[in-house]
Structure 1
Amino acid sequence: MFWLLCALLTLVVAAAIAAPLMRARDADTPSAASYDLRVYRDQLREVERDLERGVIGEDEAGRLRNEIGRKVLETDRKLTEATPSRRGGKMAGAVVTLAVLLAGAVGLYLYQGAPDAPDLPLSTRIANAERAYDNRPNQAEAEAAAPEPDKPEVDQEYVTLVEQLREAVARTPDDPQGLTLLATNEMRLGNMIAAREAQQRLVELRGDQASASELMRLSALMIEAAGGIITPEAEELLARALQKDRSLPQGRYLLGLLQLQNGRPDRAFPIWRQLLEEGPHDAPWNAPIRASIRDLAWLAGQPDYVPPEPETTGMPALPGPDADAMADAEDMTAGERQEMIEGMVAGLESRLATQGGSPEEWARLIGSLAVLEQTERAHAIWQEAQQRFGATPEAIAPIQAAAEKAGLTQ
């Protein structure tokens, strides 16, 4: 069937190229020679009219007839000689053009395509996806094969501070706060394996008490250190995080990404679709989903799917990257996405602390911290907001609603 379609398409293209050339061949004649012949015929008729009117005599008319006749014969000879060669040249050019195009198309397909590839029914594709899933590299193999990440340019003073933090953690390796800070700062320096090791030590230290966000963060760092591959170890941590909190949006995003990496868009689509439809519409993890959800729906067999339009709530959107950066968010690694989300929330928190803001922005910050499972910080913001806006019922109302939704008022 494939080769039949290729042959039909080739014939259609060849016909489209040849048709105008054939029309040109049938219609094209040497315009200058044709014009000369018409002029000479008109001159002969003019000679006859002058003779009838007595303007010229018979001798003069005969001489003019002979002169014009010689010109007609010469022009007709040139026209006869020129037409076959020019027509033949056009046909030869058409044949050569078609031959080059068709040969180039076939050669390009043989070079870039896969002429020997068999048809892949759905069952075979699913089997191949399962095989790819089972044959993923483990964490150590993936980290060894991962390309060296680009290191950001940082101030030397910051590097010195991180060195001091490393020394402090080495002296007290069981300090959770120190391990958390070390994982964050190693990630900002681009030392993803070191960041993963610090976060892994923190999770091991907490044992069964490790929170869903801590497990998810370790999974994201493992993915980052593995060059973007969701290894079996990272998947196991992701599953533990989702067992503790099935609504964890970052974990569900990564679960959909896992399905995509292993050739199962049909499984990834419902996960990302639910995340997108649940909202909030301005959640940072929804930006890459919205950018690719239509293509994903098509691959999943639902080409008519229309994603929901972002809702306008009247509440200021969480400050973040510009439109171009958000459009590129699909290409971010898991660690970069997590850092982007935390950076956006931290930027809003810093602005509200230094410049102040509307009650709606305070409510937004509390809700964002709750989504990131940073409950202690969210509670501290809630306490500060009560001091700032508690005397004004209409101002404290949206903040209190966000606190109640985050479970801070219980």
Structure 2
Amino acid sequence: MLLSPNDILLFLSFALLTGVALWLLLRPLRGEALAPGASRGDSEVALYRDQLEEIGRDLERGVIGETEAESARLEVSRRLLAADEEREKTGRTEAADPRWRKGTALLLALAVPALALGVYLAEGSPGMKGQPFAERLSVPPEELPLEGLVLRIERHLKQQPDDLRGWELVAPVYLQLGRFEEAANAWTRAMLAGGVTAGR
């Protein structure tokens, strides 16, 4: 089967969309994705070290006494040790991560396009002839679905906005489709074109 330029363009668009979807799926699996967690651990450690220095400065200036300084040092040191331990644990997790990340990334890179192609070939219609919208509306009225009939009447009413019969036909259909505002507008246009009657 020979592909037309439009078919080639369509398949290239699908390939591009698949590539973008894969990039978005694989992005969190890259090693850099865990960098924020590591930097957070570093910043916590730096913060507690700064607090220890601040306690020393406060003690020298006489803002706090020796007992308060010692108590504050113990509390900040405890938090510093916990933050340092957490940072090391995060580092070990990151070191172990690449193997499963690479495996998951490879699985996604192969599975997503294969699944998309399988679903398209099973459920889609790759060999179906293109049918422009104008051609679909040009069939006899009895072959059109209700929405197609409404579209045809709407196109007619755009060209002939004073066609009373068109407004009277489309207004009840709008009601049937639940398009109440458009139904009210259609009845108003019918009354403007043909006068106010009990039915309208």
Give the structure with higher Rg (CA).
1
TM-score by length of 1: 0.27
Q: Which has the higher contact order (CA 8 A, sep 6+)?
A: 2
TM-score by length of 2: 0.46
